[in-house]
Chain A
Amino acid sequence: MLRGKAFKFGDNISTDHITPGRLAHLRSNLPELAKHVLEDADPTFASRVKAGDFIVAGNNFGLGSSREHAPLVIKMVGVNAILAKSVARIFFRNAINLGLPVLICNTDNIDDGDELEVDLARGTVNDITRANQLTFGKLPEVMLHILNEGGLIPYIKKYGDFKL
Protein backbone atom coordinates (compact mmCIF):
# COMPACT_ATOMS: atom_id res chain seq x y z
CA MET A 1 0.00 0.00 0.00
CA LEU A 2 1.35 3.41 -1.03
CA ARG A 3 0.22 6.54 0.76
CA GLY A 4 0.94 10.20 0.02
CA LYS A 5 -0.27 13.55 -1.22
CA ALA A 6 -1.47 14.34 -4.75
CA PHE A 7 0.32 16.98 -6.79
CA LYS A 8 -2.04 17.83 -9.62
CA PHE A 9 -0.89 18.75 -13.13
CA GLY A 10 -2.80 19.34 -16.37
CA ASP A 11 -2.56 17.82 -19.86
CA ASN A 12 0.56 17.56 -22.01
CA ILE A 13 3.25 18.00 -19.37
CA SER A 14 6.39 17.61 -21.49
CA THR A 15 9.86 16.29 -20.67
CA ASP A 16 10.99 19.90 -21.13
CA HIS A 17 8.67 20.89 -18.26
CA ILE A 18 10.18 18.08 -16.17
CA THR A 19 13.87 18.54 -17.02
CA PRO A 20 14.42 21.69 -19.10
CA GLY A 21 17.18 21.57 -21.71
CA ARG A 22 18.80 24.68 -20.22
CA LEU A 23 19.72 22.53 -17.19
CA ALA A 24 21.43 19.95 -19.37
CA HIS A 25 24.76 20.83 -17.73
CA LEU A 26 23.35 19.09 -14.65
CA ARG A 27 22.60 15.86 -16.50
CA SER A 28 25.51 14.07 -14.91
CA ASN A 29 24.63 15.55 -11.49
CA LEU A 30 21.20 14.05 -10.92
CA PRO A 31 20.73 15.11 -7.27
CA GLU A 32 21.20 18.71 -8.38
CA LEU A 33 18.96 18.25 -11.45
CA ALA A 34 16.29 16.74 -9.17
CA LYS A 35 16.08 20.08 -7.31
CA HIS A 36 14.54 21.49 -10.52
CA VAL A 37 12.12 18.64 -11.26
CA LEU A 38 8.98 19.88 -13.07
CA GLU A 39 10.19 23.44 -12.58
CA ASP A 40 8.61 24.77 -15.77
CA ALA A 41 5.19 23.34 -14.88
CA ASP A 42 5.22 24.29 -11.18
CA PRO A 43 8.30 26.11 -9.83
CA THR A 44 7.31 25.22 -6.23
CA PHE A 45 6.90 21.48 -6.79
CA ALA A 46 10.49 20.45 -6.09
CA SER A 47 10.55 22.21 -2.73
CA ARG A 48 7.14 20.89 -1.65
CA VAL A 49 7.17 17.25 -2.81
CA LYS A 50 7.94 14.64 -0.15
CA ALA A 51 8.95 11.02 -0.47
CA GLY A 52 5.82 8.97 -0.99
CA ASP A 53 3.78 11.64 -2.80
CA PHE A 54 2.02 11.15 -6.13
CA ILE A 55 2.03 13.04 -9.41
CA VAL A 56 -1.52 13.24 -10.72
CA ALA A 57 -1.87 14.43 -14.31
CA GLY A 58 -4.27 14.66 -17.23
CA ASN A 59 -3.61 13.39 -20.74
CA ASN A 60 -0.31 12.64 -22.47
CA PHE A 61 1.99 13.11 -19.46
CA GLY A 62 5.70 13.05 -20.39
CA LEU A 63 5.45 13.88 -24.08
CA GLY A 64 8.60 14.87 -25.90
CA SER A 65 12.14 13.69 -25.42
CA SER A 66 13.38 10.16 -24.77
CA ARG A 67 15.68 11.55 -22.04
CA GLU A 68 15.44 9.16 -19.14
CA HIS A 69 16.50 11.95 -16.80
CA ALA A 70 12.83 12.97 -16.68
CA PRO A 71 11.39 9.86 -14.95
CA LEU A 72 14.70 9.39 -13.13
CA VAL A 73 14.52 12.70 -11.23
CA ILE A 74 10.83 12.14 -10.50
CA LYS A 75 11.79 8.85 -8.92
CA MET A 76 14.74 10.43 -7.11
CA VAL A 77 12.56 12.95 -5.26
CA GLY A 78 10.61 9.99 -3.92
CA VAL A 79 7.42 10.11 -5.99
CA ASN A 80 5.58 6.84 -5.35
CA ALA A 81 3.73 6.65 -8.66
CA ILE A 82 2.36 8.74 -11.52
CA LEU A 83 -1.40 8.69 -12.01
CA ALA A 84 -2.56 10.03 -15.38
CA LYS A 85 -5.36 9.72 -17.91
CA SER A 86 -2.75 8.83 -20.51
CA VAL A 87 1.03 8.85 -20.75
CA ALA A 88 3.32 9.46 -23.73
CA ARG A 89 4.74 6.15 -24.87
CA ILE A 90 8.49 6.69 -24.47
CA PHE A 91 8.02 8.17 -21.01
CA PHE A 92 5.76 5.23 -20.08
CA ARG A 93 8.42 2.68 -21.02
CA ASN A 94 11.18 4.68 -19.35
CA ALA A 95 9.29 5.01 -16.06
CA ILE A 96 8.52 1.30 -15.86
CA ASN A 97 12.09 0.43 -16.89
CA LEU A 98 13.30 2.45 -13.90
CA GLY A 99 10.78 0.84 -11.55
CA LEU A 100 8.51 3.90 -11.28
CA PRO A 101 4.82 2.82 -11.41
CA VAL A 102 2.55 4.58 -13.91
CA LEU A 103 -1.16 4.13 -13.30
CA ILE A 104 -3.69 4.95 -16.00
CA CYS A 105 -6.97 6.15 -14.51
CA ASN A 106 -9.48 8.97 -14.68
CA THR A 107 -7.84 11.66 -12.57
CA ASP A 108 -10.56 14.33 -13.02
CA ASN A 109 -11.90 13.98 -9.48
CA ILE A 110 -8.58 14.02 -7.70
CA ASP A 111 -7.64 17.47 -6.43
CA ASP A 112 -4.28 18.97 -5.66
CA GLY A 113 -3.34 18.14 -2.09
CA ASP A 114 -5.69 15.15 -1.73
CA GLU A 115 -4.40 12.33 0.44
CA LEU A 116 -4.23 9.15 -1.65
CA GLU A 117 -3.78 5.51 -0.88
CA VAL A 118 -2.78 3.26 -3.79
CA ASP A 119 -2.97 -0.51 -3.79
CA LEU A 120 -0.81 -1.63 -6.71
CA ALA A 121 -1.81 -5.27 -6.43
CA ARG A 122 -5.56 -4.63 -6.31
CA GLY A 123 -5.44 -1.78 -8.80
CA THR A 124 -7.23 0.76 -6.61
CA VAL A 125 -6.73 4.39 -5.66
CA ASN A 126 -8.45 5.57 -2.51
CA ASP A 127 -8.85 9.34 -2.36
CA ILE A 128 -9.07 9.68 1.41
CA THR A 129 -9.74 13.42 1.35
CA ARG A 130 -12.78 13.02 -0.88
CA ALA A 131 -13.76 9.50 0.24
CA ASN A 132 -13.65 8.40 -3.37
CA GLN A 133 -12.38 5.11 -4.74
CA LEU A 134 -10.95 4.68 -8.27
CA THR A 135 -9.59 1.72 -10.18
CA PHE A 136 -6.73 1.81 -12.64
CA GLY A 137 -6.04 -0.28 -15.71
CA LYS A 138 -3.78 -3.26 -15.30
CA LEU A 139 -0.34 -2.85 -16.83
CA PRO A 140 0.59 -5.14 -19.73
CA GLU A 141 2.12 -8.32 -18.36
CA VAL A 142 5.63 -7.61 -19.63
CA MET A 143 5.61 -4.19 -17.93
CA LEU A 144 4.26 -5.71 -14.73
CA HIS A 145 7.09 -8.24 -14.72
CA ILE A 146 9.68 -5.53 -15.31
CA LEU A 147 8.19 -3.44 -12.51
CA ASN A 148 8.08 -6.43 -10.15
CA GLU A 149 11.76 -7.09 -10.76
CA GLY A 150 12.53 -3.46 -9.86
CA GLY A 151 13.19 -2.32 -13.43
CA LEU A 152 14.43 -3.53 -16.79
CA ILE A 153 18.08 -4.12 -15.87
CA PRO A 154 17.34 -6.51 -12.95
CA TYR A 155 14.76 -8.15 -15.25
CA ILE A 156 17.26 -8.73 -18.09
CA LYS A 157 19.87 -9.88 -15.57
CA LYS A 158 17.44 -12.48 -14.32
CA TYR A 159 15.87 -13.68 -17.59
CA GLY A 160 18.54 -12.80 -20.17
CA ASP A 161 15.92 -11.64 -22.67
CA PHE A 162 12.31 -10.52 -22.89
CA LYS A 163 9.88 -13.22 -21.81
CA LEU A 164 6.53 -12.49 -23.42
Chain B
Amino acid sequence: MTLAEKILAAHTDKKKVSPGEFINVRVDLILANDITAPIAIREFQRIGVDKVFDPKKVVMVPDHFVPNKDIASAEQAKLMREFAREQEILYFEVGQMGIEHVLLPEQGLVLPGDVVIGADSHTCTYGALGAFATGMGSTDIAAAMATGDIWMKVPPTIKLIYHGNLGKWVSGKDLILYTISNIGVDGALYSAMEFVGEAIDTLSIDSRFTMANMAIEAGAKAGLFRVDNKTQLYVKSRAKRPYLVYEPDNDAEYSQVIEYDVSLLEPQVALPHSPANTKPVSQVENIDINQAVIGSCTNGRLEDLRIAAQILKGRKVHPEVRCIIIPGSQQVYLDALVEGLIEAFIKAGAAVSTPTCGPCLGGHMGVLAAGERCISTTNRNFVGRMGSPKSEVYLANPAVAAASAIMGRITSPGEILG
Protein backbone atom coordinates (compact mmCIF):
# COMPACT_ATOMS: atom_id res chain seq x y z
CA MET B 1 0.00 0.00 0.00
CA THR B 2 1.01 3.63 -0.58
CA LEU B 3 1.33 6.06 2.31
CA ALA B 4 -2.22 7.33 1.74
CA GLU B 5 -3.64 3.79 1.60
CA LYS B 6 -1.75 2.77 4.77
CA ILE B 7 -3.18 5.67 6.77
CA LEU B 8 -6.71 5.20 5.43
CA ALA B 9 -6.67 1.43 6.08
CA ALA B 10 -5.62 2.06 9.67
CA HIS B 11 -8.74 4.18 10.12
CA THR B 12 -11.13 1.45 8.97
CA ASP B 13 -11.78 -2.11 10.12
CA LYS B 14 -9.93 -3.39 7.07
CA LYS B 15 -6.36 -4.65 6.81
CA LYS B 16 -5.96 -3.43 3.27
CA VAL B 17 -7.63 -0.86 1.07
CA SER B 18 -7.25 -0.36 -2.68
CA PRO B 19 -7.82 2.61 -5.02
CA GLY B 20 -11.45 2.94 -6.06
CA GLU B 21 -12.76 1.20 -2.95
CA PHE B 22 -15.44 2.96 -0.91
CA ILE B 23 -14.64 3.05 2.79
CA ASN B 24 -15.95 4.48 6.00
CA VAL B 25 -13.09 6.35 7.68
CA ARG B 26 -12.78 7.24 11.38
CA VAL B 27 -11.49 10.80 11.64
CA ASP B 28 -8.94 12.12 14.15
CA LEU B 29 -9.69 15.79 13.70
CA ILE B 30 -12.45 17.88 12.11
CA LEU B 31 -11.96 21.53 11.29
CA ALA B 32 -14.12 24.42 10.16
CA ASN B 33 -13.58 28.16 9.73
CA ASP B 34 -15.74 31.27 9.87
CA ILE B 35 -17.00 30.84 6.29
CA THR B 36 -17.80 27.14 6.50
CA ALA B 37 -18.61 26.54 10.19
CA PRO B 38 -21.89 28.49 10.25
CA ILE B 39 -23.36 26.23 7.53
CA ALA B 40 -21.86 23.12 9.18
CA ILE B 41 -23.43 24.11 12.51
CA ARG B 42 -26.83 24.70 10.91
CA GLU B 43 -26.69 21.34 9.12
CA PHE B 44 -25.44 19.59 12.28
CA GLN B 45 -28.45 20.94 14.15
CA ARG B 46 -30.77 19.68 11.39
CA ILE B 47 -29.49 16.14 11.96
CA GLY B 48 -31.03 16.35 15.40
CA VAL B 49 -28.19 15.11 17.61
CA ASP B 50 -27.26 17.16 20.68
CA LYS B 51 -23.52 16.64 20.96
CA VAL B 52 -20.58 16.32 18.59
CA PHE B 53 -19.16 12.78 18.59
CA ASP B 54 -16.01 13.84 20.49
CA PRO B 55 -15.42 17.47 21.51
CA LYS B 56 -11.64 16.92 21.56
CA LYS B 57 -11.70 16.10 17.86
CA VAL B 58 -13.46 19.19 16.56
CA VAL B 59 -11.71 22.56 16.16
CA MET B 60 -13.07 25.88 14.95
CA VAL B 61 -10.83 28.67 13.74
CA PRO B 62 -12.22 32.04 12.69
CA ASP B 63 -9.56 33.27 10.29
CA HIS B 64 -11.08 34.42 6.99
CA PHE B 65 -12.94 37.57 8.06
CA VAL B 66 -11.69 37.97 11.63
CA PRO B 67 -11.07 40.37 13.40
CA ASN B 68 -14.62 40.94 12.23
CA LYS B 69 -14.61 42.73 8.89
CA ASP B 70 -18.28 43.67 8.95
CA ILE B 71 -21.55 42.86 10.70
CA ALA B 72 -22.05 39.61 8.78
CA SER B 73 -18.57 38.45 9.88
CA ALA B 74 -19.33 39.41 13.47
CA GLU B 75 -22.56 37.41 13.41
CA GLN B 76 -20.84 34.36 11.98
CA ALA B 77 -17.98 34.46 14.49
CA LYS B 78 -20.57 34.85 17.26
CA LEU B 79 -22.50 31.81 16.06
CA MET B 80 -19.28 29.75 15.98
CA ARG B 81 -18.14 30.97 19.37
CA GLU B 82 -21.48 30.13 21.00
CA PHE B 83 -21.62 26.69 19.40
CA ALA B 84 -18.03 25.96 20.47
CA ARG B 85 -18.80 27.00 24.03
CA GLU B 86 -21.96 24.93 24.18
CA GLN B 87 -20.22 21.87 22.69
CA GLU B 88 -16.99 22.43 24.67
CA ILE B 89 -14.89 22.30 21.53
CA LEU B 90 -11.70 24.24 20.85
CA TYR B 91 -12.24 27.73 19.45
CA PHE B 92 -9.36 30.12 18.79
CA GLU B 93 -10.41 33.62 19.77
CA VAL B 94 -8.90 36.77 18.25
CA GLY B 95 -5.56 37.10 20.02
CA GLN B 96 -4.87 33.38 19.84
CA MET B 97 -6.28 32.92 16.37
CA GLY B 98 -4.07 32.26 13.36
CA ILE B 99 -4.63 31.03 9.82
CA GLU B 100 -6.01 27.54 10.43
CA HIS B 101 -3.42 25.62 8.41
CA VAL B 102 -0.55 27.47 10.04
CA LEU B 103 -2.05 27.29 13.51
CA LEU B 104 -3.14 23.66 13.88
CA PRO B 105 0.20 21.96 13.14
CA GLU B 106 2.03 24.61 15.18
CA GLN B 107 -0.25 23.84 18.16
CA GLY B 108 0.37 20.10 17.81
CA LEU B 109 -3.27 19.46 16.94
CA VAL B 110 -2.51 17.54 13.75
CA LEU B 111 0.05 14.77 13.87
CA PRO B 112 1.60 12.14 11.60
CA GLY B 113 -0.71 9.28 10.71
CA ASP B 114 -3.88 11.29 11.40
CA VAL B 115 -6.92 11.46 9.17
CA VAL B 116 -8.04 15.08 9.16
CA ILE B 117 -11.02 16.53 7.34
CA GLY B 118 -11.65 20.23 7.20
CA ALA B 119 -14.28 22.47 5.70
CA ASP B 120 -11.58 24.29 3.80
CA SER B 121 -9.98 23.16 0.58
CA HIS B 122 -6.45 23.79 1.87
CA THR B 123 -6.84 21.23 4.65
CA CYS B 124 -4.46 19.12 2.52
CA THR B 125 -1.63 21.22 4.05
CA TYR B 126 -1.20 18.70 6.89
CA GLY B 127 0.07 16.08 4.45
CA ALA B 128 3.44 17.74 5.12
CA LEU B 129 3.51 15.91 8.47
CA GLY B 130 2.56 12.53 7.01
CA ALA B 131 -1.15 12.86 7.77
CA PHE B 132 -4.01 12.12 5.36
CA ALA B 133 -5.80 15.45 5.28
CA THR B 134 -8.45 16.57 2.86
CA GLY B 135 -10.94 19.38 2.34
CA MET B 136 -14.68 18.90 2.21
CA GLY B 137 -17.80 21.01 2.37
CA SER B 138 -19.82 22.06 5.39
CA THR B 139 -22.44 19.32 5.07
CA ASP B 140 -19.84 16.53 5.08
CA ILE B 141 -18.28 18.19 8.11
CA ALA B 142 -21.69 18.33 9.83
CA ALA B 143 -22.19 14.59 9.25
CA ALA B 144 -18.70 13.82 10.55
CA MET B 145 -19.23 16.01 13.64
CA ALA B 146 -22.27 13.89 14.43
CA THR B 147 -20.86 10.45 13.58
CA GLY B 148 -17.05 10.65 13.78
CA ASP B 149 -16.96 8.98 10.37
CA ILE B 150 -16.82 10.02 6.75
CA TRP B 151 -17.12 8.03 3.53
CA MET B 152 -14.25 8.20 1.09
CA LYS B 153 -13.24 6.64 -2.16
CA VAL B 154 -9.67 5.42 -1.75
CA PRO B 155 -7.65 7.60 -4.15
CA PRO B 156 -4.97 6.30 -6.49
CA THR B 157 -1.55 7.69 -5.57
CA ILE B 158 0.74 9.59 -7.90
CA LYS B 159 4.38 9.43 -6.82
CA LEU B 160 6.37 12.56 -7.61
CA ILE B 161 10.15 12.25 -7.37
CA TYR B 162 12.28 15.39 -7.25
CA HIS B 163 15.97 14.84 -8.05
CA GLY B 164 18.81 17.28 -7.51
CA ASN B 165 19.60 20.16 -5.21
CA LEU B 166 17.57 23.33 -5.12
CA GLY B 167 19.18 26.56 -6.24
CA LYS B 168 19.24 29.82 -4.34
CA TRP B 169 15.83 31.40 -3.65
CA VAL B 170 14.07 28.22 -4.79
CA SER B 171 11.65 26.71 -2.29
CA GLY B 172 8.67 24.41 -1.92
CA LYS B 173 6.49 27.05 -3.58
CA ASP B 174 8.50 26.81 -6.77
CA LEU B 175 8.43 23.01 -6.78
CA ILE B 176 4.67 22.91 -6.44
CA LEU B 177 4.01 25.71 -8.99
CA TYR B 178 6.31 23.92 -11.43
CA THR B 179 4.51 20.63 -10.79
CA ILE B 180 1.05 22.16 -11.29
CA SER B 181 2.15 23.81 -14.53
CA ASN B 182 3.44 20.42 -15.66
CA ILE B 183 0.44 18.25 -14.78
CA GLY B 184 -2.33 20.89 -14.89
CA VAL B 185 -5.00 22.04 -12.45
CA ASP B 186 -6.72 18.67 -12.78
CA GLY B 187 -3.53 16.64 -13.23
CA ALA B 188 -4.04 14.90 -9.88
CA LEU B 189 -7.86 15.01 -9.80
CA TYR B 190 -9.22 12.61 -7.13
CA SER B 191 -5.66 11.34 -6.48
CA ALA B 192 -3.22 11.48 -3.59
CA MET B 193 0.20 12.95 -4.36
CA GLU B 194 3.22 11.48 -2.59
CA PHE B 195 6.27 13.76 -2.69
CA VAL B 196 9.72 12.09 -2.50
CA GLY B 197 13.33 12.48 -3.67
CA GLU B 198 16.53 14.10 -2.49
CA ALA B 199 15.23 17.62 -3.14
CA ILE B 200 12.29 16.82 -0.84
CA ASP B 201 14.57 15.37 1.86
CA THR B 202 16.39 18.69 2.08
CA LEU B 203 13.18 20.75 2.23
CA SER B 204 12.29 22.42 5.52
CA ILE B 205 8.98 21.56 7.18
CA ASP B 206 7.70 25.04 6.35
CA SER B 207 8.43 24.48 2.67
CA ARG B 208 6.72 21.08 2.83
CA PHE B 209 3.60 22.76 4.23
CA THR B 210 3.67 25.09 1.23
CA MET B 211 3.82 22.17 -1.21
CA ALA B 212 1.16 20.06 0.46
CA ASN B 213 -1.05 23.18 0.74
CA MET B 214 -1.23 23.51 -3.05
CA ALA B 215 -1.90 19.83 -3.82
CA ILE B 216 -5.57 20.88 -4.19
CA GLU B 217 -4.48 23.28 -6.93
CA ALA B 218 -3.67 20.18 -9.01
CA GLY B 219 -7.07 18.75 -8.08
CA ALA B 220 -5.61 16.30 -5.56
CA LYS B 221 -7.46 14.90 -2.59
CA ALA B 222 -4.28 14.91 -0.49
CA GLY B 223 -0.57 15.61 -0.81
CA LEU B 224 1.65 13.58 1.48
CA PHE B 225 5.23 13.54 2.68
CA ARG B 226 6.92 10.67 4.48
CA VAL B 227 7.88 11.30 8.09
CA ASP B 228 11.62 11.85 8.58
CA ASN B 229 13.86 13.32 11.29
CA LYS B 230 12.75 16.84 10.43
CA THR B 231 9.12 15.88 10.88
CA GLN B 232 9.86 14.15 14.18
CA LEU B 233 11.77 17.17 15.42
CA TYR B 234 8.87 19.45 14.47
CA VAL B 235 6.21 17.24 16.03
CA LYS B 236 7.98 16.00 19.16
CA SER B 237 7.78 19.20 21.18
CA ARG B 238 4.23 19.93 20.04
CA ALA B 239 2.34 16.64 20.27
CA LYS B 240 0.05 16.26 23.27
CA ARG B 241 -1.14 12.79 22.31
CA PRO B 242 0.52 9.68 20.84
CA TYR B 243 0.77 9.28 17.07
CA LEU B 244 1.73 6.57 14.60
CA VAL B 245 4.13 6.88 11.70
CA TYR B 246 3.19 5.02 8.53
CA GLU B 247 5.53 4.11 5.70
CA PRO B 248 4.55 3.12 2.18
CA ASP B 249 5.26 -0.53 1.33
CA ASN B 250 8.10 -1.36 -1.03
CA ASP B 251 5.62 -2.97 -3.41
CA ALA B 252 3.13 -0.10 -3.21
CA GLU B 253 1.29 0.48 -6.48
CA TYR B 254 1.25 3.98 -7.92
CA SER B 255 -1.08 5.11 -10.69
CA GLN B 256 1.75 7.26 -12.06
CA VAL B 257 5.36 7.99 -11.24
CA ILE B 258 6.56 11.42 -12.33
CA GLU B 259 10.23 12.42 -12.03
CA TYR B 260 11.74 15.87 -12.18
CA ASP B 261 15.33 17.07 -12.07
CA VAL B 262 15.03 20.38 -10.26
CA SER B 263 18.73 21.32 -10.02
CA LEU B 264 18.33 24.12 -12.54
CA LEU B 265 14.85 25.19 -11.50
CA GLU B 266 14.39 28.95 -11.15
CA PRO B 267 11.86 30.62 -8.86
CA GLN B 268 8.49 30.30 -10.59
CA VAL B 269 5.68 32.80 -11.14
CA ALA B 270 2.09 31.76 -11.92
CA LEU B 271 0.50 34.32 -14.25
CA PRO B 272 -3.22 35.15 -14.27
CA HIS B 273 -5.60 33.39 -14.02
CA SER B 274 -4.42 29.90 -13.17
CA PRO B 275 -1.81 28.38 -10.85
CA ALA B 276 -0.85 26.20 -13.84
CA ASN B 277 0.04 29.24 -15.95
CA THR B 278 3.57 29.22 -14.59
CA LYS B 279 6.84 30.57 -15.99
CA PRO B 280 10.38 30.91 -14.61
CA VAL B 281 10.78 34.39 -13.09
CA SER B 282 13.43 35.30 -15.66
CA GLN B 283 10.79 35.06 -18.37
CA VAL B 284 8.35 37.33 -16.55
CA GLU B 285 9.73 40.74 -17.31
CA ASN B 286 8.64 44.33 -16.99
CA ILE B 287 5.36 43.63 -15.26
CA ASP B 288 4.62 46.53 -12.93
CA ILE B 289 2.78 45.76 -9.71
CA ASN B 290 0.57 47.79 -7.39
CA GLN B 291 0.62 45.42 -4.43
CA ALA B 292 2.69 42.62 -2.90
CA VAL B 293 1.16 40.23 -0.37
CA ILE B 294 3.37 38.00 1.78
CA GLY B 295 1.46 35.60 4.01
CA SER B 296 -1.43 33.08 3.86
CA CYS B 297 -1.77 29.37 4.67
CA THR B 298 0.69 28.80 1.82
CA ASN B 299 3.54 31.10 2.81
CA GLY B 300 2.81 32.78 6.15
CA ARG B 301 5.26 30.85 8.31
CA LEU B 302 8.46 31.97 10.04
CA GLU B 303 10.79 30.74 7.29
CA ASP B 304 8.77 32.73 4.74
CA LEU B 305 9.05 35.91 6.81
CA ARG B 306 12.77 35.36 7.37
CA ILE B 307 13.30 35.13 3.61
CA ALA B 308 11.21 38.26 3.00
CA ALA B 309 13.17 40.12 5.69
CA GLN B 310 16.49 39.10 4.15
CA ILE B 311 15.46 41.05 1.08
CA LEU B 312 13.49 43.91 2.64
CA LYS B 313 15.88 44.73 5.49
CA GLY B 314 17.62 48.05 4.93
CA ARG B 315 15.70 48.68 1.71
CA LYS B 316 12.47 50.49 0.84
CA VAL B 317 9.28 49.24 -0.73
CA HIS B 318 8.77 50.95 -4.10
CA PRO B 319 6.73 54.17 -3.63
CA GLU B 320 3.97 52.92 -5.93
CA VAL B 321 3.60 49.53 -4.23
CA ARG B 322 1.54 48.55 -1.18
CA CYS B 323 3.42 45.74 0.53
CA ILE B 324 1.24 43.80 2.99
CA ILE B 325 2.83 41.20 5.25
CA ILE B 326 0.63 38.88 7.29
CA PRO B 327 2.20 36.45 9.79
CA GLY B 328 0.20 33.20 9.77
CA SER B 329 -0.22 32.90 13.52
CA GLN B 330 0.38 34.79 16.75
CA GLN B 331 3.43 32.59 17.40
CA VAL B 332 4.86 33.34 13.96
CA TYR B 333 4.14 37.05 14.60
CA LEU B 334 5.87 36.95 18.00
CA ASP B 335 8.88 35.01 16.73
CA ALA B 336 9.20 37.45 13.83
CA LEU B 337 9.01 40.34 16.28
CA VAL B 338 11.69 38.90 18.58
CA GLU B 339 13.96 38.22 15.59
CA GLY B 340 13.60 41.80 14.39
CA LEU B 341 11.80 40.86 11.19
CA ILE B 342 8.76 43.00 11.92
CA GLU B 343 10.98 46.02 12.55
CA ALA B 344 12.68 45.42 9.20
CA PHE B 345 9.30 45.22 7.45
CA ILE B 346 7.98 48.40 9.01
CA LYS B 347 11.18 50.32 8.33
CA ALA B 348 11.00 49.13 4.73
CA GLY B 349 7.53 50.65 4.47
CA ALA B 350 5.44 47.47 4.58
CA ALA B 351 2.12 47.13 6.40
CA VAL B 352 2.08 44.27 8.93
CA SER B 353 -1.25 42.75 9.94
CA THR B 354 -2.61 40.45 12.60
CA PRO B 355 -3.10 36.90 11.20
CA THR B 356 -5.96 36.56 8.69
CA CYS B 357 -6.69 34.97 5.31
CA GLY B 358 -7.83 38.48 4.33
CA PRO B 359 -6.64 39.46 0.87
CA CYS B 360 -6.04 35.92 -0.46
CA LEU B 361 -9.75 35.48 -1.22
CA GLY B 362 -10.52 39.14 -1.80
CA GLY B 363 -12.03 39.38 1.64
CA HIS B 364 -10.36 42.36 3.29
CA MET B 365 -6.92 43.79 4.13
CA GLY B 366 -5.77 44.35 0.56
CA VAL B 367 -8.62 44.00 -1.96
CA LEU B 368 -7.68 45.02 -5.51
CA ALA B 369 -9.36 47.62 -7.75
CA ALA B 370 -10.00 47.12 -11.48
CA GLY B 371 -6.78 47.16 -13.47
CA GLU B 372 -4.57 46.57 -10.43
CA ARG B 373 -1.91 43.91 -10.27
CA CYS B 374 -0.58 42.05 -7.24
CA ILE B 375 2.26 39.64 -6.68
CA SER B 376 1.26 37.30 -3.91
CA THR B 377 2.60 34.33 -1.98
CA THR B 378 -0.95 32.91 -1.77
CA ASN B 379 -2.28 29.86 -3.62
CA ARG B 380 -4.91 30.98 -6.14
CA ASN B 381 -5.00 33.56 -8.91
CA PHE B 382 -8.41 32.84 -10.42
CA VAL B 383 -10.41 35.69 -11.99
CA GLY B 384 -11.47 38.12 -9.25
CA ARG B 385 -9.75 36.13 -6.53
CA MET B 386 -8.31 39.20 -4.76
CA GLY B 387 -10.99 41.70 -5.66
CA SER B 388 -12.12 43.18 -8.96
CA PRO B 389 -12.63 40.65 -11.78
CA LYS B 390 -10.49 43.07 -13.79
CA SER B 391 -7.54 42.76 -11.38
CA GLU B 392 -4.62 40.35 -11.73
CA VAL B 393 -2.79 38.11 -9.26
CA TYR B 394 0.66 36.63 -9.86
CA LEU B 395 1.69 33.81 -7.52
CA ALA B 396 5.29 33.47 -6.33
CA ASN B 397 7.49 32.60 -3.38
CA PRO B 398 8.22 35.15 -0.61
CA ALA B 399 11.66 36.05 -1.99
CA VAL B 400 10.24 36.97 -5.39
CA ALA B 401 7.33 38.86 -3.80
CA ALA B 402 9.68 40.86 -1.54
CA ALA B 403 12.11 41.66 -4.36
CA SER B 404 9.23 42.72 -6.60
CA ALA B 405 7.84 44.96 -3.84
CA ILE B 406 11.15 46.86 -3.80
CA MET B 407 11.52 47.15 -7.57
CA GLY B 408 7.87 47.91 -8.30
CA ARG B 409 7.85 45.20 -10.96
CA ILE B 410 8.11 41.43 -10.94
CA THR B 411 11.73 40.46 -10.57
CA SER B 412 14.07 37.82 -9.26
CA PRO B 413 15.58 38.26 -5.78
CA GLY B 414 18.92 37.82 -7.55
CA GLU B 415 18.53 41.31 -9.01
CA ILE B 416 18.71 42.71 -5.49
CA LEU B 417 20.91 40.29 -3.60
CA GLY B 418 22.79 38.41 -6.30
Which residues of chain B are near A59, meaning CB under 8 Å? 186
Interface size class of A (residues with CB under 8 A): 35 or more
Q: Does any Cβ of A come within 8 Å of B89's Cβ? A: no
**Smallest CB separation, B140 vs chain A (Å):** 6
**Smallest CB separation, A52 vs chain B (Å):** 24
**Smallest CB separation, A148 vs chain B (Å):** 15
Contact call A14/B149, Cβ cutoff below 8 A: no
Within 8 A of B (CB), among A1-54: 12, 14, 16-17, 20-22, 24-29, 39-40
Within 8 A of A (CB), among B291-334: none
Contact call B219/A89, Cβ cutoff below 8 A: yes
Binds A, one of B39-47, B255-263, B338-346, B405-413: B39-47
**Smallest CB separation, B304 vs chain A (Å):** 22
Which residues of chain A are near B159, meaning CB under 8 Å? none
Contact call A89/B221, Cβ cutoff below 8 A: yes
Which residues of chain A are near B383, meaning CB under 8 Å? 14, 16-17, 40
Q: Does any Cβ of B come within 8 Å of A83's Cβ? A: no
Contact call A22/B387, Cβ cutoff below 8 A: yes
Which residues of chain B are near A164, meaning CB under 8 Å? 22-24, 151
Contact call B274/A12, Cβ cutoff below 8 A: yes
CB contact between A12 and one of B23, B185, B221 (< 8 Å): that residue = B185
Q: Does any Cβ of A come within 8 Å of B361's Cβ? A: yes
Contact call B151/A90, Cβ cutoff below 8 A: no
In the assembly, what is the distance between CA of A26 and CA of B35, in Å?
Answer: 11
Interface 1/0 per residue, B99-126 and A, CB below 8 Å: 0000000000000000000111101000
Contact call A86/B362, Cβ cutoff below 8 A: no
Of all chain A residues, the one with the shortest Cβ separation from B135 is A66
Which residues of chain B are near A142, meaning CB under 8 Å? 22, 151
Which of B36, B151, B362 has the most chain A CB within a 10 Å cutoff? B151
Which residues of chain A are near B2, meaning CB under 8 Å? none
Within 8 A of B (CB), among A64-103: 64-69, 71, 86, 88-90, 93-94, 97-98
Contact call A97/B137, Cβ cutoff below 8 A: yes
Can you identify 13 A-B contacts, CB atoms within 8 angstroms?
Answer: A17-B382, A20-B389, A21-B384, A24-B35, A25-B69, A27-B35, A89-B190, A89-B221, A90-B121, A152-B140, A152-B142, A153-B142, A156-B147
Q: Which residues of A contact B (CB under 8 A)?
A: 12, 14, 16-17, 20-22, 24-29, 39-40, 59-60, 63-69, 71, 86, 88-90, 93-94, 97-98, 140-142, 151-153, 156-157, 160-162, 164
Q: Which residues of B contact A (CB under 8 A)?
A: 22-24, 35-36, 38-39, 43, 46-48, 64-65, 69-70, 72, 75-76, 118-121, 123, 135-140, 142-143, 146-147, 149-151, 153, 185-186, 189-190, 216, 219, 221, 274, 361-363, 367, 380, 382-389
